[in-house]
Structure 1
Amino acid sequence: MDNFLDFLNERFGLADLVEEGIKFESEDGKLYLLYNGQMIPVHLSEEDDVFLTVNNKLKKDKTAIYNGYFSSEKNRLMEFKVLKLKSAKHRDSPFITKHKYALNGDGFKIEISKMSVEMVISFFNSQEYVGYVKNRIIQRVERYLERVKDYESRGKKTTYITALNFSDLFIKRLPTAKVFTEDKWPNLTKQLEINLRNLEKAFYILENNEEDCFNYYLKSWDFSNPVRFLKDEDIEISFKIPSVSYDEILLKFYKNAMVAETVNHSFLSFYHVLEYYFLKCTEKNLHQQLKFFIDDPKFNSQQNNLEQLISTIKRYNYENDENKMLLCVLHEYIQPEALLNYVHSLDIRRGEGVDIFGENIDKKGLDENNVIDIIGRTIKAIRNGIVHSSDKYNRAERFIPFSESETTVKKYLPVVKFIAEKIIATTSH
C-alpha cells in the first residue's frame, strides 16, 4: 500500500497539480482519495501492480520522454496518438474495434492498438495530465460525492455506489500507433520525421485495403469531449508495408477521399490525385518535344525552324485545356490493359452513349486503344458536373446532390479510385 501512496502523492504533490487539492491516504488497508475534506475509496486490483513496475522501469530509461508522443530511444520505440477518421465498412460499430493492426516494413514495424502502459505512465507524469485530472478525475469525484449526498438524504446505503478504480486515475485505452525500429536512431528529430513518414505509409496501406482510416496527431488531447473506449482486441490484422516512398500530398488527398461522407466529395478528392500531376506531365511532354528540336545539331534560327518550334509549343501547351492535361496524366501513368481489365470487372464495357452532365460520351466498346480516352472523358465530365452547378454548358442534366444524378458518380467512383491508386504507386520511389 505504501508504494501506491508514494507513487500517487509524488505526482499530485507537484506544482502543476497541487492546487487541485487532491491527496491520497490509507486507512485499514484501503486506499482513499482526499478531496475537499471528503474521502473517496479507490479500489485496487492485482493488475494495478503493473503501473508501479512500469514507472520504476521508466525511471531507469533516461531516453524515455513524453512530448505529445511517447519515445524511448533505448527501446527504439515511438508511440503516437491516433484518431480514427472512419471505420471500415465491415465493422459492426464506428466507435468500437476488436482489431489490432500489425504492419511490417523494411527495418521497422507498426502496431495500432490500445495505448501501452509505458505511454500511460509517461502521460501521467506530463503536464498534459493536468487536463485529464481537471476534466475527468475531478468531475468523476464530484459526481460520486453528489450521489453519496443524494443517497444519504434518502436514507439509502452508499456502499453500493461505485467510486474509483485505481486504473481510473490513468488514461489507458485510447488507440495509439507504435513504431518499432531496428536500426540505431540518427537523432530524435530525424527519427521522428522518419517514423511519421512510415506511419503515413501504414495508414495508406490500411485505407487501400478498405480497413479503418486513421490519422496521427501530436497535439494535446482534448478532454472536454467524451473518450471513446476500445474493447479488448482479439483479432490481429497484418499487412506488409512496401519499401517505397509515396508522395505525402497524394496520400492526404487519398485519405480525404476515403473519409468523405458523400460520393461527390470522395470523387473529387480522388480526382485531385490525378489533377496534382497535370502541369508536371504536360510540361514534361513539352520539354521532350523542345529537346527534339534544340538538341538537333542542324537546328538554327532560320525562320522555318523557328516556326516549327512555335508550332510545337502551341501543340503541346495544354495549360488552358484540362481535358488534354488529364489525358496526358492517364497516358503517362496508367497501363491501358490494367484499366481495361478493371473497368470490365465492374461490368463497364462501353462508353455511356449519353450526355453526362453536358458531355456526350461515345457508346463505343472499350478496348486497349480507346479505354483511356473514353474513361478520361467520362471522369472529367463527372468532375465538371460536380464542380459546376450553373447552366453555363447548356447541359440538359445537372448534377444534384442526394438525387438520382449520384448514380453515375457512384458507378465511376471505383474507377477514379483505381486510377488514383495506380498514380500513387507509379510515382513512388
Structure 2
Amino acid sequence: MSLAKFSEVLTNLGCSVEIDDRTLLIDIDDKKVFLEVDDVWIKSINHFYRAKQYSFNPDIRVLTSNNFVEFQIVRLDPNFIPRPEFEFTDDKGSLLTITRASNEFVLSHYSSTAYEYLFDYVKRKIEKRSERLKARKNGRLRIRFDDLFFNPFTAKYTPKPKLSKEKIEVVGKEKIKACLFNLAYAKGECWELRDDIKAKHFQHLQPELEEEPLKIPNVKYDDDLVSFYKVAKSSQFPGQSYLSFYHVLEYNFLRVADEILFNSVKTQLNKPNYKATESPRVHRRPVCLSQATLPDSFKLS
C-alpha cells in the first residue's frame, strides 16, 4: 500500500507511525498526533509512488516528469493575492500555469532531503499547538494532512508536442522566465524563479515560529519610520534594503540635529542679557569697468 511507502519518510526521521485504514497515528518525540488522508491525497500518493517518471532536484526546487516541468517561484512585489492563478497558452496547445504547487511537487519535496529542515518546523508547530489544544482522539492531537507539507507557489510548463526529459527542463525554464516578465509587464505581478533569487544572493527567508508569545506593543511608532523599515525588511533587493535602512538613520539624524539647533537657539533667546541687534550693513558703491580697463581679449572691436 502506498501509505506504507509514504510513512517511511516519517519513520526515517525518528517517528513511530501506525496505519489504520486512512488514518495515520504518529508519535513525534513525546507528542502523539493523528491525521486522516482524504480521497484526493490517496489518489495522488498511489500514483506518485507507483510512477517512475518523477525527478526532483531539491537544491534548485524543480520537478521534471515525462510530461511537464515545475519550478518553485517566489514573489518579489509587495502585492498580496491569497491564491493567484494564471494560465498561458500557445498555438501548439502548450500550457503554463502559475499557482500553488501540484501534489506531485509537494510529495517530491516531502520525499527529498530538503524535507528534513521543514520537518523541524512541523515538530515545533505541533508542539505549539499541543500547548493550546486538547487531545481529541485516544489521547492524540488531530492535525491536518496538509500540515506535513511545504506548499509553495510554482510555475508548471506542459509542452505540446512532448519533449525529451533532458530538453523539457531547459525549454521550460526559458518559457517560464518569459511568462514571468509578461506577467510583470501586463499585470504588475512580479515573480522570480527561486533558484535565480538564491543565486543572486537575494533574501529568501524560511518560515519560522515565534519562540515567545506575541504581545500588543504599548507604544506608538512613527509612520514614516515604520514604512522605511518595512520596505527594508521585505525587499528582495539588497540595494533597496540598504537605502531604506539608510532613510531610517537619516530621519533620526535630522530629527536630532533639529532638536539640537532648537535647544541652542532657545538657550540664547532665554539669556537675560540677550539683545537682538541687527548687524551693520556695509554699503558699497558699484564698480563700473570701462572699456579701457578690460583685458584686450574682452575689448570690443
The TM-score with structure 1 as length reference comes to: 0.41
Cα distance in 2, alignment partners of residues 122 and 7 from structure 1 = 13
Cα distance in 2, alignment partners of residues 223 and 66 from structure 1 = 21
Cα distance in 1, alignment partners of residues 42 and 22 from structure 2 = 18
Q: Indicate which of 38, 56, 60 corresponds to 1:66.
A: 56
Cα distance in 2, alignment partners of residues 28 and 50 from structure 1 = 15
Residue by residue over 1:340-385, the C-alpha shift from the partner in whole angstroms, topping out at 9 and shown as x without a partner, is: xxxxxxxxxxxxxxxxxxxxxxxxxxxxxxxxxxxxxxxxxxxxxx
Q: Indicate which of 193, 206, 217 corresponds to 2:170.
A: 193
Q: Indicate which of 160, 172, 175 corresponds to 1:182.
A: 160
1:202/1:38 CA distance change after superposition, 3 Å: closer
* Coordinate RMSD, CA, aligned: 3.6
Higher normalized contact order (CA 8 Å, seq sep 6+, divided by chain length): 2
Q: Indicate which of 207, 210, 216 corresponds to 1:225.
A: 207
Q: 1:166 is matched with which residue?
A: 145
Q: 1:3 offset after TM fit, Å?
A: 6.0
Q: For 1:99-118, list aligned pairs within 5 A.
A: 99-107=84-92, 108-118=94-104
Q: Indicate which of 184, 204, 227 corresponds to 1:207.
A: 184
1:260/1:176 CA distance change after superposition, 3 Å: closer
CA contact (8 A) 2:32 2:141 kept: no
Larger radius of gyration: 2
CA contact (8 A) 2:6 2:45 kept: no
Q: 1:120 offset after TM fit, Å?
A: 1.1
The TM-score with structure 2 as length reference comes to: 0.57
CA contact (8 A) 1:79 1:119 kept: yes
Q: For 1:194-273, list aligned pairs within 5 A.
A: 194-218=171-195, 224-225=206-207
Query: Does structure 1 residue 12 correspond to structure 2 residue 2?
Result: no
3-state DSSP of counterpart to 1:86:
coil
Q: 1:130 is matched with which residue?
A: 116
Residue by residue over 1:289-336, the C-alpha shift from the partner in whole angstroms, topping out at 9 and shown as x without a partner, is: xxxxxxxxxxxxxxxxxxxxxxxxxxxxxxxxxxxxxxxxxxxxxxxx
Q: 1:417 is matched with which residue?
A: none
Q: 2:28 is matched with which residue?
A: 35
Residue by residue over 1:56-85, the C-alpha shift from the partner in whole angstroms, topping out at 9 and shown as x without a partner, is: 223343221111211112x2x011101111
1:37/1:126 CA distance change after superposition, 3 Å: same
Cα distance in 1, alignment partners of residues 15 and 76 from structure 2 = 36
Q: 1:37 offset after TM fit, Å?
A: 3.9
Q: 1:306 is matched with which residue?
A: none
Q: 2:15 is matched with which residue?
A: 22
Cα distance in 1, alignment partners of residues 46 and 75 from structure 2 = 32
Q: 1:113 offset after TM fit, Å?
A: 0.8
Q: 1:28 offset after TM fit, Å?
A: 11
Cα distance in 2, alignment partners of residues 191 and 128 from structure 1 = 23
CA contact (8 A) 2:87 2:97 kept: yes
3-state DSSP of counterpart to 2:187:
coil
Question: How many aligned residue pairs are there?
Answer: 204
Q: 1:11 offset after TM fit, Å?
A: 1.9
Q: 1:132 offset after TM fit, Å?
A: 1.1
Q: Indicate which of 75, 78, 93 corresponds to 1:84.
A: 75
1:140/1:208 CA distance change after superposition, 3 Å: same
Q: For 1:320-359, list aligned pairs within 5 A.
A: none
Residue by residue over 1:374-426, the C-alpha shift from the partner in whole angstroms, topping out at 9 and shown as x without a partner, is: xxxxxxxxxxxxxxxxxxxxxxxxxxx99xxxxxxxxxxxxxxxxxxxxxxxx
